[in-house]
C-alpha cells in the first residue's frame, strides 16, 4: 500500500498524505473497491462483484467492470465519468483523468471476444479521451484531452485530436 500511496504523491502535487488520499480521492476508492470485486469475480462469483461496482458507480460516478484486468498503482485523478469496460487491460503505473472511456465499438462484437483497449505501463490518458475498440496504447504514451483513439498508439508517442493523430 505504501508504494501505491507514494506513486500517487509523485503524480499529484496536491496529494499530502495517505489519510487524505484514501479518504478524499474517489479514484483511489473506486480502484480499491475494484480490486475486491475483481478478486471475487475471478473466483466465479458474478452478482456480488457487479453489485459492488454498481454501488461504486452510483456513489462515485466511476464505472469499472469487475472483469477488467488492471495492474498496480493505477491513479484515477478526479475520476468523474470514467468508464473501463469488461475486456479492458490496464498496465502498471497508468494515470487516467476524468471523463475517460476505455470502451468497445460494438460493431461486429463476438460474445467472449476482446472488445476493449489494452493500455500498457506508464500511459497517461487526458481528461475526456475516448479509447475505443481492441487497440493498444503502447508503453509510456500520452493521449491528449478529448482525443478519440481508434488505432494503436506506439510506445512513447502522443495521440491528440478527433480522430486522434499520433506524433512521436
Residue 78 designated active-site: yes
User: Residue 105: which of 143, 135, 139 has the closest Cα?
Assistant: 135
Q: Is the CA virtual torsion 156, 161, 164, 167 positive or negative?
A: negative
* Long-range Cβ contacts of 5-8 (<8 Å, 24+ apart): 7/73, 7/75, 7/93, 8/73, 8/75
Catalytic member of 65, 78, 98, 116 = 78
Kindly give, in sequence order, each residue whose CB lies less than 8 Å from that of residue 7, ignoring residues fewer than 6 positions away: 73, 75, 93
Residues recognised as catalytic: 78
Amino acid at each position: 500500500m505504501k508504494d501505491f500511496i507514494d506513486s500517487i504523491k509523485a503524480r499529484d502535487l496536491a496529494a499530502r498524505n495517505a489519510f487524505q488520499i484514501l479518504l478524499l480521492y474517489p479514484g483511489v476508492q473506486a480502484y480499491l473497491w475494484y480490486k475486491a470485486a475483481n478478486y471475487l469475480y475471478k473466483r466465479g462469483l458474478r452478482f456480488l462483484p457487479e453489485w459492488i461496482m454498481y454501488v461504486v458507480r452510483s456513489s462515485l460516478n466511476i464505472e469499472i467492470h469487475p472483469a477488467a484486468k488492471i495492474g498496480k498503482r493505477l491513479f484515477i485523478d478526479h475520476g468523474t465519468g470514467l468508464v473501463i469496460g469488461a475486456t479492458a487491460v490496464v498496465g502498471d503505473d497508468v494515470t487516467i483523468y476524468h471523463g475517460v472511456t476505455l470502451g468497445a465499438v460494438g460493431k461486429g462484437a463476438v460474445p467472449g471476444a476482446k472488445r476493449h483497449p489494452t493500455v500498457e505501463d506508464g500511459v497517461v490518458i487526458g481528461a475526456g479521451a475516448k479509447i475505443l475498440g481492441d487497440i493498444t496504447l503502447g508503453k509510456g504514451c500520452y493521449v491528449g484531452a478529448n482525443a478519440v483513439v481508434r488505432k494503436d498508439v506506439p510506445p512513447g508517442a502522443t495521440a491528440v485530436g478527433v480522430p486522434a493523430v499520433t506524433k512521436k
